[in-house]
Amino acid sequence: MRTKVAIIGGGPSGLFLSQLLDLAGVESTVLEVRSRDYVMGRIRAGVLEQGSAESLRAAGVSERIVHDGFVHEGINLAFSGGMFRIDFAGLVDRTVIVYGQTEVQKDLFAARDARAGIVIDEADDVRLHDVESDAPWVTFRKDGLEHRIDCDFIAGCDGSHGVSQTAIPGQVLRTFERVYPFGWLGVLSETPPVNDELIYANHERGFALCSMRHEALSRYYIQCPIDTDIGDWDDDRFWDELRARLPPAASDGLVTGPSIEKSITPLRSYVAEPMSFGKLYLAGDAAHVVPPTGAKGLNLALTDVVYLSGAIAEFYEHGSTAALDGYSDTALRRVWKAVRFSWWMTTLMHRFADGGEFGFRLQEAELDYLSSSAAAQRALAENYTGLPL
């Protein structure tokens, strides 16, 4: 089998890359280790930056986003029993769209199917070969048979536990990581959201987040110890704890109901450098992971793909490798800014056991400053809605 770009990973970054390359006249083949049903069933982030939404629209993947997505012009931050709003539209003239990553995944599958894109799922034992040469190739097993794909480039879009990153030699690859000493216990419920915009709550009992998927489907999170046994948390206990961490203005209107999904999400910051080696280019979680506090994970992946697809298209159209040579540096500049913002949001809103009362008072002071400073709010709004490409 021969293709121009072999894409490892059929999540949002892999499918989006395939879509953009197709629109630029560059053929690709996507390999995904899981089944399509499994990939489409994963529950992930639900906030699209304005730039991400515009990029999906330009790729012809926006009909349902426009119809079903919720445009949010701000978020709410709660602390010390009160709550204030960050007005994105008023501060930076930008918005975000609440639209689940699961739905983005479905839209991208539909877009690739509509253009007869080649997506091979349940591809086992994927291996990358000769990535430093001018003729890299990939092998995989499907239905008990081994297959080979010869290509010009390999795009590693297979997440932080995938095979792509391991193809970069240890003496070349540098990794940076911070593991947070807590996780998020999350519940999905068929109940109306407590607020029409997200609420981030800082409380002495721990962080809480009120989000939504649509007007009758809510997503709630509470900070929990990383070793929490999810079996210890029935619905009633979760709702009681969430209510305790919200200000009265929100908790009084909280509608509860049976959970339809419950999970614990660990939090970490992770960056791998460089994001390219030979003819291999990493994108999305294969190169970086951020805590979900800043709503940056999916958006960073989509931005990587915009950079990478443009660089590959430039090569085939003009024969230039300038953008490909600069891809890693270009992407990492944006990645580290998003890592910083996600770290800042996480440290501002969560309770750290080793921080003590001193740390908690510092959080309160910063939130108090943020509530009254237009300049501080503008900086938050600029980062949350997405820095320019």
Active site residue 72: yes
Reported as a single tens digit per residue, the pLDDT across 186-205 is: 999 999 999 999 999 999 99
Q: Where residue 329 falls among pLDDT bands split at 50, 70, 90? A: very high
Identify the pLDDT of residue 154.
98
Closest to 346 (Cα-Cα) out of 185, 178, 205, 229: 178
Q: What is the pLDDT of residues 62-85, one digit of tens each?
A: 899 999 999 999 999 999 999 999
Residue from 99, 180, 200, 307 carrying the catalytic annotation: 200
Give 200-238 pLDDT, tens digit per residue. Answer: 999 999 999 999 988 889 999 999 999 999 999 999 999
pLDDT over 70 at 267, yes or no: yes
Other C-beta atoms closer than 10 Å to the C-beta of 333 total 10
Class of domain 5-71+97-177+268-346: alpha beta
Question: Is 350 a catalytic site residue?
Answer: no
User: 180-267+349-385 falls under which CATH superfamily?
Assistant: D-Amino Acid Oxidase, subunit A, domain 2 (3.30.9.10)
Residue 289 has pLDDT above 80, yes or no: yes
pLDDT at 301: 97
Of 296, 307, 327, 350, which is the active-site residue? 296
Q: Choose the catalytic residue: 136, 193, 291, 292.
A: 292
- pTM score, two decimals? 0.95
At 34, give phi and psi (nearest 5°). -95, 170
What local confidence, expressed as pLDDT, does residue 45 receive?
Answer: 65
Domain boundaries, the chain: 5-71+97-177+268-346, 180-267+349-385
Is residue 221 among the annotated active site residues?
A: no
Provide the pLDDT for residue 83: 98
Q: Is 292 a catalytic residue?
A: yes
pLDDT in tens, 360-376: 999 999 999 999 999 99
Selected catalytic residue, list 72, 203, 279, 288: 72
Residue 94: CB atoms within 10 Å: 16
Is the model's pLDDT at 256 over the cut of 80?
yes
Annotated catalytic residue 147? no
The torsion angles phi and psi of 201, rounded to 5 degrees, stand at -115, 130
Residue 85 has a pLDDT of 98
Q: What's 386's DSSP letter? A: -
Please count the CA atoms within 13 angstroms of the CA of 189 that sit on its side-chain side: 20
Mean pLDDT of 13-32: 98
157, 284 Cβ separation under 8 angstroms = yes
